[in-house]
Amino acid sequence: MDDAIKQRVQVWKDGNYDDAAKQEIARLERENPNELADAFYRNLEFGTGGLRGIMGIGTNRINKYTVGMATQGFANYLLQTYPGGVVRIAIAHDSRNNSRQFAEITANVMAANGIKVFLFEALRPTPELSYAIRHLGCQGGVVCTASHNPKEYNGYKAYWNDGGQLVPPHDKNVIKEVEKIGSVDEVKWSGGEANITIVGKELDNAYIGMVKSLSVYPEVITRQRDLKIVYTPIHGTGIMLVPEVLQRFGFANVHIVEEQAKPDGNFPTVIYPNPEESEAMSIGLKKAKELDADILLGTDPDADRVGIAIKDKQGNWVLMNGNQTAVLAFNYIIEARKAKGIAQKNDFVCKTIVTTDMIDRIAADNNVKCYNVLTGFKWIAELIKEKEASENYIVGGEESYGLMIGSQLRDKDAVSAVALLCEMAAYEKDKGRTLYEKLIDLYVQYGYYKEHLISITKKGMNGQKEIADMMDGYRNNPPMTINGSPVVQLLDYELRKGKNLQTGEEWDLTLPVSNVLQFILADGGKISARPSGTEPKIKFYFSVNTTIKSAADFESIQVHGELDKRIQGIIADMGLK
């Protein structure tokens, strides 16, 4: 253990930390010095989205002290930004271990700084926190969650006055203020309890009313009220609102996956509490098969992501990926608004640059603007704010199982997504069809798009450098062909430049700086390379497509795996295996 780590440990041993923390340090010194070193070798980074890390004692862990210091920095920035008036903040938490404690610490520190706090009485979905910020006229918000990370993790997401997560300049400014807090003695831990208001049912009712207003075809639900729905909250916050929302929509045949219904931060039935993982959906899938249900839906612990499964034409259950779910949702909202006569000329949709381009095709065909933003819902929220005086946002989404329907909150929302996806299933069933058949129809109309994601971690001390070198290589010596198809364009979001590799023509990209590269191929394929900013990890997103003339064409392509082979060819040609 080097001297810098020893010094950090000594600060905790000598400082105003509780006996339990000091006893745990003593235990680790005796039993696991390597873990102690890992817990103290750096300060847990307050990134642009807040904190996320393993729970435990130490400067590199999520605990009441790191949460308190982060909160003091955020409070300082709020008070600097809004001098003279009353500053208000909403605070929520998920079902993870210690989340309630961290939420109460956040509330106490904010309140001790003279900030008016609205603290939810118990766990609530993250999207309700986003809604509450706007509904209560708050200047900021915090939710204690680590989303779909393993059970050892917790986190702290910071929001601004529009209900979206922090974006420039506030993200960097908050980070600066957090980094200025050098000691737990600088934190105002208590003394403002009178500034805390507990909120609950009234806000639930307002939020549920907002979600109910998103329904486009209530009359169809009336006819299809017996649509057989299976829902799992995967031990998370979705249980607080999703069943009631489905009931308010008019669905009367909802089955909860009982093994996963109780909120539990140990997530006892899954390895990862993430609806993107087929394993996390397996118990729900078993129940859906037993009941011969129409649709299965699962939400992650803070209920901002949703995964669904539907039956194919042979009655086999198929787990949809995030791109497929987004295609169905975007198309439904666009088509339904048009059919109901409520579409507006200035309607727009928004997705991230790594989400399927099939959505761009659907929007263009319906004369609806489609904007592309950097990865993360904070950029969708920022675009809505930028456009709200002149354009009308209707739906946004990303490939990682996130949807945001309507603009009354500003983060991904699995609660409203579950309700609308069930309405979509009811709408198709009312016509004697399934959502699966609808998806194939869309493939026939717009082209069959297939996406794939791989994540590569480079281990060891040189991991970050290896990934940086990989990106430099792509940037400075881009491949001219990939898997036999010419690379037509290189889009470099860090340099904010696009280049036609065949003609040499260059143009400016307007999105904020981000270390992402995209290769656009002549055959319509697209590859995106996106390194993590904090870990030695890089993600590659692959998208390929082809035209099909009929549902039979789709089945044939599926059987022969043509698009899968193209993706695997790209991976092999780029040396990513």
Q: Is 476 left (phi over 0), alpha (psi -120 to 50) or beta?
A: alpha
Q: CA angle at residue 371 from 366 to 376, to 5 degrees?
A: 130
Query: Which contiguous run of DSSP H or E holds residue 519?
Result: strand 517-521
DSSP 320: P
Q: Dig out the tokens for 320 from the structure.
A: 């949809």
- Nearest to 238, CA basis, from 288, 295, 299: 299
- Nearest to 348, CA basis, from 385, 392, 305: 392
Dist. CA 386–CA 545, nearest whole Å: 32
**Cis amide leading into 169 (omega within 30):** yes
Which SS3 state, helix, strand or coil, does residue 316 take? coil
- Nearest to 450, CA basis, from 313, 324, 318, 309: 324
Dist. CA 45–CA 51, nearest whole Å: 7
Greatest extent of the chain over all pairs of C-alpha atoms, in Å: 73
Spot the catalytic one: 95, 147, 215, 528.
147
Strands in 88-93's sheet, in edge-to-edge order, are 50-54, 153-160, 140-144, 88-93, 116-120, 196-199
Dist. CA 156–CA 173, nearest whole Å: 17
Contact present, 166 and 89 (Cβ < 8 Å): no
- Nearest to 466, CA basis, from 519, 529, 517, 538: 538
Contact present, 239 and 233 (Cβ < 8 Å): yes
Dist. CA 281–CA 298, nearest whole Å: 7
Q: Give Cα 168 to chain centroid, integer Å.
A: 19
**Catalytic site residue 147?**
yes
Residues in the chain: 577
Q: Dig out the tokens for 256 from the structure.
A: 């909860």
Q: Which residues are catalytic?
A: 147
